[in-house]
């Protein structure tokens, strides 16, 4: 079977790590959260960033031991067996695709619709998806170049708009600082999950580990640098919003970032922010179509998904079937869903619950593998283990239990996320029984190595099928 190739450097890895995180839906969530919590949301976001760094350290160590595209599926198979491997990967990432993907695409199309009111948002959404489908089918170099350009423009422009807004440069009105913490600290600490959503997905660079040069060094740096820059950019823009628009309007708007930009810079500002929202959505769609198919590819190599998910196109070296499947999962719900801020927030929180469960499993994976394989070489080693994992697990559990202050909304979120997890567990049980594989018997590292091929740096003059295959 054709293999993947190592072609991405640090900046492409950084762009991939941040590309999903800085999303159109994240910009909506950022505006709504600052409107709901007030400027004190910066505290929620800061704590969430620290937790995200802890989680990223665990991912970095595990990926340095098992640098395959199966990511958490590989780690969990070695620590807890195949059943939990399927639950960890599909629970964290299939739910994202099914629940949030269409929301992200519609947010992007709403930004285009704001600029060109005569265009149909659904048609726009399909066009955007199709463009990035073609890009990802054609090869990882094209993906990396476009992703880097999108992220640089997006980060610089968003930070600039926030900075200018804070100092009243080029604004149409003077800023008026709002009450820092209008609803009390209990609300701030119950909003950690909303803060985490600003950073969730930084590990998306890991499934491209087989296509990143020197991944054990580049991937940790890309994730930490990505989390830090995202925090700075988001907080600059978020605090600026609270100084130029009423918090109530900000909390209830479908596209608060555009509404806030209009309050700061007039119609021109709104158009610029709509374009930035378009870039953010495009970046996220691009990252999803790159990373999630490679996760499916990794599971298929272990026999935990049908073999077709592991198909690599012989010319373009991309997982075509999985890319097309993710495209359909993004596109088809657009025909029946109508996006508004309430639906979007509910779906984001539902995906957050299953994603947090996946994060918890990853922390447990590291603790188990540290104990079981204490002798193996680790190109990257997470500092302060097991303390950061214990803190990470505890905070993730807290976020799940305090996902929303409204009990009725929390109940709906639990129903949606619980439904997803039920069907994933049902699939895992039936598939493993059908394949006559043990459910909870851990896979050894040697067995995983025989199922998955990890490749060294390719030499351009040698054909891929002649390359030495190793860890």
> What six digits make up the tokens of 370?
């540290």
Neighbouring-strand partners of residue 286: none
**What average pLDDT does the segment 151-162 reach?**
88
**What average pLDDT does the segment 454-465 reach?**
34
**Is 374 inside a domain boundary?**
no
**What average pLDDT does the segment 230-255 reach?**
89
For 6-21, the pLDDT digits (tens) are 566 788 788 777 866 7
**Is 383 inside a domain boundary?**
no
**Is 471 inside a domain boundary?**
no
For 125-154, the pLDDT digits (tens) are 788 888 888 888 886 556 566 767 777 888
The per-residue pLDDT for 465 is 41
Tell me the CATH number at 332.
1.20.1740.10
**CA triplet 5, 10, 16: central angle to 5 degrees?**
75
pLDDT exceeds cutoff 90 at 46: yes
Number of structural domains (the chain) is 1
CB atoms within 10 A of CB 246: 12
Rg of the Cα trace of the chain? 21
Which of 344, 330, 313, 297 minimizes the C-alpha distance to 133? 330
The per-residue pLDDT for 161 is 93
pLDDT exceeds cutoff 60 at 459: no
For 385-428, the pLDDT digits (tens) are 899 999 999 988 988 988 877 788 889 999 999 999 999 999 99
**Is 83 inside a domain boundary?**
no
**Is 218 inside a domain boundary?**
yes
**What average pLDDT does the segment 282-299 reach?**
79
Q: 78 pLDDT band (50/70/90 cuts)? A: very high
pLDDT exceeds cutoff 70 at 338: no
pLDDT exceeds cutoff 70 at 274: yes
The per-residue pLDDT for 134 is 87
H/E stretch holding 22: none
pLDDT exceeds cutoff 80 at 109: no
Quote the CA–CA distance of 250 and 261 in Å, as a whole number: 11
The per-residue pLDDT for 315 is 81
Domain span at residue 154 reads: 14-70+96-344
**Is 5 inside a domain boundary?**
no
Please list, in sequence order, all residues whose beta carbon lies within 8 angstroms of the beta carbon of residue 438, skipping any fewer than 6 positions away.
81, 82, 432
Which DSSP letter does residue 441 get? Answer: P
The per-residue pLDDT for 393 is 93
pLDDT exceeds cutoff 60 at 379: yes
Half-sphere exposure of 155 (CA within 13 A, CB side): 21
**Is 144 inside a domain boundary?**
yes
Average pLDDT of every residue of the chain? 82
Please, which contacts does 440-445 make with residues 24 or more away whose CB atoms are closer than 8 Å? 440/80, 440/81, 440/82, 440/83, 440/84, 441/81, 441/82, 442/77, 442/78, 442/79, 442/80, 442/81, 442/372, 443/77, 443/78, 443/81, 443/82, 443/302, 444/78, 445/65, 445/66, 445/78, 445/373, 445/376
End-to-end CA distance of the chain: 17
Lowest mean pLDDT among 337-351, 376-390, 434-448: 337-351
> What phi and psi, each to the nearest 5 degrees, are found at residue 339?
-85, 130
Which of 293, 30, 19, 342 minimizes the C-alpha distance to 137? 293
> What six digits make up the tokens of 397?
């559990």
**Is 52 inside a domain boundary?**
yes
């Amino acid at each position: 079977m054709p293999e993947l190739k190592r072609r991405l450097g640090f900046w492409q890895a950084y762009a991939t790590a941040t590309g999903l995180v800085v999303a159109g839906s994240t910009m909506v969530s950022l505006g709504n959260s600052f409107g709901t919590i007030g400027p004190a949301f910066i505290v929620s976001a800061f704590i969430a960033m620290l937790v995200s760094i802890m989680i990223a350290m665990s991912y970095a160590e595990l990926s340095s031991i098992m640098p395959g595209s199966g990511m958490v599926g590989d780690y969990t198979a070695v620590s807890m067996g195949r059943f939990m491997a399927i639950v960890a990967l599909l629970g964290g990432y299939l739910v994202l695709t099914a629940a949030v993907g269409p929301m992200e695409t519609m947010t992007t199309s709403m930004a285009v619709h704001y600029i060109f009111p005569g265009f149909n948002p659904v048609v726009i959404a399909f066009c955007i998806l199709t463009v990035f489908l073609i890009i990802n089918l054609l090869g990882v170099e094209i993906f990396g170049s476009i992703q880097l350009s999108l992220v640089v423009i997006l980060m610089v422009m968003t930070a600039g708009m926030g900075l200018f807004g804070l100092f009243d440069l080029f604004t149409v009105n003077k800023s008026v600082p709002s009450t820092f913490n209008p609803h009390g600290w209990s609300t701030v600490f119950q909003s950690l999950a909303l803060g985490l959503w600003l950073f969730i997905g930084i590990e998306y660079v890991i499934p491209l580990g087989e296509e990143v040069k020197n991944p054990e060094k580049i991937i940790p740096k890309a994730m930490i640098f990505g989390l830090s820059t995202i925090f700075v950019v988001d907080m600059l823009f978020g605090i600026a919003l609270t100084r130029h628009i009423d918090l109530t309007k900000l909390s209830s708007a479908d596209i608060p970032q555009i509404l806030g930009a209009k309050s700061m810079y007039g119609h021109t500002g709104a158009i610029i922010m709509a374009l930035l929202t378009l870039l953010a959505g495009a970046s996220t769609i691009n990252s999803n179509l790159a990373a999630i198919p490679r996760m499916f590819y990794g599971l298929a190599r272990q026999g935990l998904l049908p073999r077709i998910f592991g198909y690599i196109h012989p010319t373009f070296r991309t997982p075509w079937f999985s890319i097309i499947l993710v495209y359909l999962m993004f596109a088809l719900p657009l025909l029946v869903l109508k996006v508004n801020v309430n639906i979007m927030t509910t779906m984001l929180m539902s995906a957050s619950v299953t994603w947090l469960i996946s994060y918890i499993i990853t922390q447990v994976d590291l603790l188990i593998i540290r104990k079981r394989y204490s002798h193996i070489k680790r190109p990257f080693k997470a500092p302060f283990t097991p303390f950061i994992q214990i803190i990470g697990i505890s905070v993730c559990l807290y976020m799940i239990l305090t996902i929303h202050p409204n009990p009725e909304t929390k109940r709906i979120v639990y129903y949606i996320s619980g439904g997803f997890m039920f069907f994933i567990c049902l699939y895992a049980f039936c598939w493993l029984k059908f394949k006559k594989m043990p459910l909870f018997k851990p896979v050894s590292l040697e067995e995983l190595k025989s199922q998955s091929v990890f490749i060294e740096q390719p030499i351009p003059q040698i054909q891929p099928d002649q390359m030495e295959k190793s860890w």
